[in-house]
C-alpha cells in the first residue's frame, strides 16, 4: 500500500504542514488522502503531477505496487 495526498488550490498551509512530516498530516479542508495498491491520477484542466519530488508532466498517471520489485542487500556484522 502507498499513500496519495491531494492539496487543493495550491493551499500553502497544507504544503507547509506536509513538509513537517506526512506521518502527522491529517485530512482537512484542502487536503485529501487515499491509500491503495493501484491508483490513477487525472486532472481537468491538466495539472502538473509530482512523484517523489519529480514533476512527471501534465497528464494522467497510473501507479501500482509491484511486490518484491526491490532487492535490499545487507552485510551481517
Residue 38: the pLDDT is 92
Number of domains in the chain: 1
Between 56 and 77, the more confident residue is 56
Q: Does 55 reside within a domain?
A: yes
For the chain, the residue count is 77
Q: Does 70 reside within a domain?
A: no
Distance of CA 11 to the CA centre of its chain: 16
Q: What is the pTM of this model?
A: 0.52
Q: Does 17 reside within a domain?
A: yes
Residue 16 belongs to what domain range? 2-64
What's the chain look like in SS3?
Answer: CEEEEEEHHHCHHHHHHHHCCHHHCCCECCEEEEEECEEEECCCCCCCEEECCEEEECCCEEEECCCCCCCCCCCCC
Closest of 37, 42, 35 to residue 59, by C-alpha = 42
Q: Does 72 reside within a domain?
A: no
Q: Does 75 reside within a domain?
A: no
Residue 22: the pLDDT is 56
Q: Does 10 reside within a domain?
A: yes
Q: Does 27 reside within a domain?
A: yes
Amino acid at each position: 500500500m502507498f499513500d496519495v495526498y491531494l492539496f487543493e488550490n495550491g493551499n500553502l498551509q497544507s504544503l507547509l504542514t506536509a513538509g513537517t512530516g506526512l506521518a502527522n498530516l491529517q485530512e482537512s479542508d484542502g487536503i485529501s488522502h487515499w491509500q491503495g495498491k493501484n491508483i490513477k491520477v487525472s486532472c481537468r484542466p491538466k495539472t502538473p503531477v509530482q512523484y517523489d519530488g519529480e514533476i512527471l508532466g501534465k497528464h494522467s498517471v497510473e501507479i501500482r505496487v509491484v511486490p518484491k520489485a526491490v532487492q535490499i542487500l545487507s552485510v551481517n556484522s
